Structure 1
């Protein structure tokens, strides 16, 4: 019981450090509380992922060494070339199916399908690639920043096209 209280106290401290974004709250919030329903998610273009991809930051600042939660919306038949991230990532598929492979080259035969509810976690620096098929796919990623994406083949970086 004592450990549970310590965990609750540390969680409360961590949550108290969050910055509340009033535009995201549907109700008056207690300090540190973030409350978002789907209609309040603010999607923006995600040029680092590729044309047609959308991103929504739900918590934190992706450029800071702090906790973050974001969602990425990928259109049907979308490909993310082999890349790495500088931080440990926890990915949950919210809708659709994410096909994710581990490795330095894009190879559909080496990808695993993660349907809605699927979860995968990758350490910093692990090379990976992903794609979608016929359905739009939404994933949620959380970790501790700063977040970024580095393509193994610079010619495949969508920011350079």
Structure 2
């Protein structure tokens, strides 16, 4: 296994990437069925790859597999996303709050772009990025797995 595969697999496992829906809602990608989820039905849990102040709710998919996924991240006010990369495209939409986001290897608040509610972003695989939350931020990500996160500086990785 190459380094990226190991990191991706470890990241997927660390995120707890089973479908996280309340009640009997269960969706199998490719099943031809429909999925309807109310916001208050989402089950939020910790994100070990992001540490305290971040929560995840997986809507569909197993982020460790080659299949479509959709999940939401909730960040507390002031939460900093340290410089990192992903193995696949990151496609996101800001649902609440303002996410300040930037491309680069060094965290610099002055270089971020404010993405208010309703904004969307697409970041290429392997492109270093970082950001921070203004107010409580909820954003939704979707794409094709496997998914993972690799921090540019090991000391920023809460899994260490």
TM-score normalized by the length of structure 2: 0.80
Max Rg structure: 1
**Runs of 4 or more off by more than 3 Å in structure 1?**
none
Query: Which residues in structure 2 correspond to 1:67-106 (within 5 Å)?
Result: 67-106=68-107
Alignment gaps of 5+ in structure 1: 1-18
Q: Secondary structure at the match of 2:159?
A: helix
Residue equivalent to 2:67: 66
CA distance in 2, matches of 1:109, 1:52: 22
Separation (CA, whole Å) in 1 of partners of 2:110 and 2:90 = 23
Cα deviation, residue 23, structure 1? 2.3
Measure the CA separation in 2 of the matches of 1:50 and 1:83.
14
Aligned residues: 136
More helix by share: 1
Match of 2:155 in 1: 155
User: Does the Cα contact within 8 Å between 1:79 and 1:131 map onto a contact in 2?
Assistant: yes
Tell me how far apart the structure 2 counterparts of residues 60 and 132 of structure 1 sit (CA, whole Å).
26
1:138 is paired with a residue whose SS is strand
RMSD: 1.7
